[in-house]
Structure 1
Amino acid sequence: MLEIKVITMYLWITFAWLSFIATLSFGQEVPKINPFLPSIKPVIGGKTSFYCQSLSGSSPLHVTWFKDDKEIHDSSFIRIKSNEDPSVLIIETIQSSHSGNYTCRMSNKLGYDSYTTELLVQGSPNWIEKPKDITAHSGDTLTVNCSASGYPKPKIEWKRLQGSSWINLPSNNLYSNQIQLSDKLIIKNTTRESNGKYGCLMSNGIEPNLWTEFDVTIKVIFSYNYLSQSFKLWTRSS
C-alpha cells in the first residue's frame, strides 16, 4: 500500500513538473538566424564585418562567434559588438590569416541555431617557396619548385631566357624534355642544352606580381678511360 502511494506521488510530481515546463515554454521559440555574408569585399589591409541577427526566437538570446570552430574573443584585430541579438563581428586591418569559416551561434533556454559563412581575403601573392640555382649532371632529372599563397589562387608561369627575351615553357616543343606541372618544373634527361637562366612568375590579378630567376648548370661527365684509349690510338697512328 505504501509503495502505491509513493508511485502515485512520484507520478503526480512528474506531471506537475512537465505542466510547469509546458507553461513556461508556451509561445516561445528556438532561435533562427538570418543568413549573412561579409558586409565588405575583404582585401588585405581593409576592414569588414559580419552582422548576425535572428529571424525568430524568444529572448533573451545569447550570441557566440567562432572561427574554424574556435571561439573568438576581442583582440587587436577583431571586435565583437554585443553578445546579444543582433551581434556584429568587426575585423580591423584584414590579414591573409583572417581567411576561414566564421560561425554565429545564437542560443536561448530552448535551444540554439548557428550559421557559417566563409571569408576569403583577397591579396597579392606571397612566397611559399622560391626556386634556387641548381647544379646537376648530364642525364639527371631535375624538379624545381615554385609556390605562393594568396587569393585568388596565384597562377604560375615558367619561363626561360632565350637571347634577350623570356619565353614561356613549354614553347612549341622547343625544349621537349621540360614538363610544367603547376608549381613544379621537371627537366628530364638533362643535357648541355638545359643550361641557362629560368624564371618563375606568380600572379593572381592583384599587384604586385612575384618574379624570381634562377640558373640551371649541367655538368657533362666524360669517360676518362675512353679518352685515354683514344689518345693512345692517336699517338700510335702518328
Structure 2
Amino acid sequence: VPAPPKVTLQPELQVAASEGGKATLRCLFHGNPPPKITWRHGKQEIDGSAGRYRLMSDGALEIVSLYRNDTGVYICVADNGLGVATQEIHLVVNDPVKTPARIAGDENAVVTGELGSPLSVQCLTYGYPRPYVLWYRGHDISKGVYNDDVYEARSNVFIIRNLAMDTLGQYTCQAYNGEGKAALWVVTVRAFRPEGLYTENELLVPRETLPPRPKTQVSTTAESAETHIF
C-alpha cells in the first residue's frame, strides 16, 4: 500500500564524538515506495559522496576527520513523492583524543571512470593527530603516486589526469599519524569498455543499460480499443 515516509525507530537525537574522529548520524524512515534520504547542515545541503561525508546505504550520514565547527544541527530529509518527513540530529564535537589513523571505506572498493577523462579517488581518513596520507600503486609502497603528468596528489584525494589502460588497477591509501599502526585501504580503478570493443579484461566493464522497452501493438475495433504488451 503506498504510504508517505514515517519514522521506523526513534534515532539517537544527540551524537557526541571527538575532534579528528568520526561520527555516524542515523535516521530511520520507512514508506512505500522507500524514501530517498538527503541531509542538510543548517540550510546547506550535504553531498554524501564528497568531502568528508559519506551517505551509507541505509541513509545514515558518516562524517570523518571532525572539526569543532562540525558541531550543530543536521536535518535528515526523507522524500518518496507521497510526502516529506524530517528528523533533527544534534552533533557535538568534543576535545580531541589521541587515536590511531583509521579509514572509513568499503572493502573491495571499486571506482569506474571514462577512458580519456579525469578520475578522482578519495580516501576518508580520520584520527588524531590528523593522519598523513600516502598513495601508491598496488601493494608496492615504492610505486608512490605523486604530482606528475599522470597523477595529481592532494593529501587524501588523488586524481588520474587522463584515465588510460596503464592507469587501471589497484591503488592503496596509507594513513599514519604516529599513533599505533598505519591504516590501509585498497581501491580498484576500472573503466567503461569502449563501444564495439570485446575483451576479457576485468578492468574494462560494460555500461549498465536499461532493459529494452516492450513492443506495443495496438489493435482496434469499432466497439473497443485494446493495447497488448508483448
What TM-score, normalized by structure 2, do the two folds share? Answer: 0.39
- Asked which structure has the greater CA Rg, the reply is 1
What TM-score, normalized by structure 1, do the two folds share? Answer: 0.38
Higher strand proportion, which one? 2
